Amino acid sequence: MSQKTRVLVVVASSRPHRVGPAVADWFVRATRTTAAELGVDVEIADLATIGLPFLDEPDHPSTGRYVHAHSRAWSARVSAADAIVLVTPEYNGGMPATLKNALDYLYDEWAFKPVLFLGYGNTSAGTRGVQMARQVTTALRMIPVGADLFLRIADTVLDGTVPGSPALDDRARDALAELYRIASVVAPLAAAAPVADDPWHGLTLRRATPDDADEILVLQRCCWVDEALANDTLDIAALHEDAGDVRDWLGTWSVWCLRDRARLVGAVRARRSGDTWQIGRLMVAPDQRGRGIGRALLTYAEAQAPAGLTRTASLTTGSASTHNIRLYRSSGYETVATGAGTVDLVKPL
Ligand SMILES: Cc1cc2nc3c(=O)[nH]c(=O)nc-3n(C[C@H](O)[C@H](O)[C@H](O)COP(=O)(O)O)c2cc1C
């Protein structure tokens, strides 16, 4: 994989004085060196602080249509991960309702992502809870890696913490390495998973990879020639980039490509800048314009804003790019600044 592998450690329990965060903290601590060696970023998603209500979306998650900000934030968080660790207790022989709810919220976001279970409990050490969670994750097309860890609370939890032991820490390191190994192999499969049922009318949206750079460059030049004509200038960065430049920003931006079978027909990129979600390089092949593709890509990019970014989505375009400006204004953007031939627009998320 070209970028760092991102592992999301989901803490499933939510009650006061729970053990879950201590189990997750131990796993992160025990695997820190291995993660650094492998180039793995580990992030904890605590369902107690995320606070998802019981599933309240009107549409099936497979449509990718989320009306609530909490669903979009959860979707973006899971979408950004390459592999998942589920830290789950056993409640009455099963998984906690919080975990089932968090899984049910999404659909394609989980697909083809390797999942490692970190179960804990009393006599059964969480095995029955994990058994149930495994069944559900399989329905979501996740890939259980099988290197699961089970902690018997009486043997492993001391004063509310999990101190670990050389043997246990070793097993955690091996489990992370196995998760990474499988994530590396299935990454193209996960990237190719449709992000929603079919809101794109037969087109396929997926995260861009460095292999897309050459085609993005061609589409970009094609689209920005129109901008050059409209604004009567060749002083436009997008026109001067080469494939190496595109490959570079593919590593620092989240980029999505829209294809009609093999052909690239649209793309958009986004990234966090402070507390702003920057969106740019929204491009649609000239012969495909007028089908709503640009607006759909823009809406999709907005919805990928990570949790906690509440300020604005921002865009910059040429001041004479009337078609773009019309699209942005009708999508809720307002002009905040005009520069030398450019316009900055923002929209509250
Ligand atoms: C509602 C409930 C049901 C439980 N059922 C089981 C069980 O079936 N098997 C088990 O080994 N432990 C069971 N326990 C004990 C939990 O494993 C233990 O309390 C653990 O700390 C729960 O995880 P948490 O602290 O992160 O919530 C249960 C605990 C609760 C609160």
Q: Where are the domains of the chain?
A: 5-192, 204-348
CB 183 within 8 A of CB 83: yes
pLDDT digits (tens, 9 = 90+) for 295-319: 889 999 998 888 878 677 888 898 8
Encoded tokens for 193: 């998973």
Cα gap 100→12, rounded to integer Å: 9
Which ligand 1 atom sits closest to the C-alpha of 126? 11
Residue written as tokens 């929204």? 282
Determine contact, residues 8/85, Cβ cutoff 8 Å: yes
**Secondary-structure class of domain 5-192 per CATH:** alpha beta
Which residues are registered as beta bridge partners of 314? Answer: 278, 346
150 lines ligand 1 (CB under 6 A): no
Q: CB of 101 within 8 A of CB of 55?
A: yes
CA of 121 to the centre of ligand 1 (A): 6
Same fold, 5-192 and 204-348: no
SS3 106: coil
Contact 334, 346 (CB under 8 A): yes
| Interacting residues of 237 by C-beta distance below 8 A, sequence separation 6+ | none
Q: What is the pLDDT of residue 275?
A: 87
Is ligand 1 within 6 A of the CB of residue 206? no
- Predicted local confidence at residue 194, as pLDDT: 56
Q: Buried b vs exposed e over 128-146: b needs ≥16 C-beta within 10 Å?
A: bbbbbbbeebeebebbbbe
How high is the pLDDT of residue 34?
Answer: 97
> Does residue 337 register a pLDDT over 60?
yes
Does the beta carbon of 131 lie inside 6 Å of ligand 1?
no
pLDDT in tens, 252-293: 999 999 987 678 899 999 999 888 999 999 999 998 887 788
**Amino acid present at 21:** P
Instruction: Please identify, in words, the CATH class of the domain defined by 204-348.
Output: alpha beta
CA distance 21 to 248: 37
Q: How far, in Å, from the CA of 15 to the mean position of ligand 1?
A: 10
Q: Is the pLDDT of residue 196 over 70?
A: no
Q: In whole numbers, what is the pLDDT of the chain averaged over residues?
A: 91
Ligand 1 pocket test: pick from 13, 91, 95, 132 the residue with the most ligand atoms within 8 Å of its Cβ.
Answer: 91
- How far is ligand 1, taken at its centre, from the CA of residue 168, in Å? 21
Which residue has a Cα nearest atom 27 of ligand 1? 18
Ligand 1 neighbourhood includes 343 CB (under 6 angstroms): no
User: What is the 122 CA–ligand 1 centroid distance (Å)?
Assistant: 7
d(CA 326, CA 166): 62
